[in-house]
Structure 1
Amino acid sequence: MPVKIRLTRMGKKKQPSYRVVVVDGRRARDSRYIEQIGRYDPREDPSVIEIDNDKAVDWLRKGAQPTETAKKLLEVSGAWTQFRVAKGDIHTIETSTPAPSEPAVAEVEAEADEEEIEATAPETEAVAVPEAAADEVSAVEPTEEAADDAASDGKEES
């Protein structure tokens, strides 16, 4: 008895909806089925695909063969991938997800701190520039001797 996972048509004319069922492969399309494992409604936007992945994987392990359309629906729902992982066709490597995300958060916070420092830095520089200019002006002010020398130099040239 070849067991198949396939679609059974439901609904009225021009308004199809489907059940995803497990059925004896020799039976007609809409005949009695062994078990319903999901439903598919292509008329809604986006299409509704509801499949009980646990039941689907159990039937796939028992040897049920999905039709092309049913296989595509199982891939979308994730049941086909679960089956292949359980079977050993796909090897998974578990990684700890919290560890990589924490440095990323720290980097984002560090960048935000740098942006805050850059945003406040021009204000402090604007305040620092006049103080530095005042120091330069006081350093340039001539002493009495320099003033006398400049006055005498000016008289000699005239």
Structure 2
Amino acid sequence: MVVKIRLARFGRTNAPFYNIVVAHARTARNSRPLEVLGTYDPIPKRDTYDRSGKLHKDIKLDITRAKYWIGVGAQPTDTVRRLLSLVGIMEPKYRPAAPAPAAAAKEPVKK
């Protein structure tokens, strides 16, 4: 059976909070997972230890277990893949396109 790494939503209305979980692909979003790998808080907050006042989204993740599940063949969803690439576990799915090489001088079309 296919195993996925995905988000399970918790929290209240307009204040989401997600658990990053490993679950079978055909189970409900908030059903009991195989394992909870970490948490993700998408609401930006100020860091109490950083004086610059920048906002950040909180990602807590058990990196060794995430690497294990990816190595075993668990497929992350697009959102989880983005979070794992932010942490440095996976390569981003979408990379910015490299600029196309300049085309050689085109010859004018003769009629």
The structure with the greater share of residues assigned to helix is: 1
- Structure with bigger gyration radius: 1
2:56 aligned with 1:58, yes or no?
no
Whole-angstrom distance in 1 between the partners of 2:89 and 2:21: 14
Identity of aligned residues (%): 43
Query: Where do residues 116-127 of structure 1 align in structure 2 (5 Å cutoff)?
Result: none
- Segments of 5+ residues of structure 1 without an aligned counterpart are 82-158
The structure with the greater share of residues assigned to strand is: 2
Whole-angstrom distance in 2 between the partners of 1:6 and 1:38: 11
Alpha-carbon deviation of 1:80? 1.7
Q: Given the two structures, how large is their TM-score scaled by the length of structure 2?
A: 0.70
- Larger RCO (CA under 8 A, 6+ residues apart): 2
The aligned counterpart of 1:27 is: 27
- Segments of 5+ residues of structure 2 without an aligned counterpart are 46-55, 92-111
Alpha-carbon deviation of 1:79? 1.9
**Partner of residue 76 from structure 1, selected from 86, 92, 105:** 86
SS in 1 for 2:8: strand
SS in 1 for 2:85: helix
Whole-angstrom distance in 1 between the partners of 2:66 and 2:7: 13
Q: Given the two structures, how large is their TM-score scaled by the length of structure 1?
A: 0.50
Question: Number of residue pairs matched?
Answer: 81
2:10 aligned with 1:10, yes or no?
yes
1:54 counterpart letter in structure 2:
T
Deviations 1:55-100 (A, max 9, x none): 000000100000000000001111225xxxxxxxxxxxxxxxxxxx
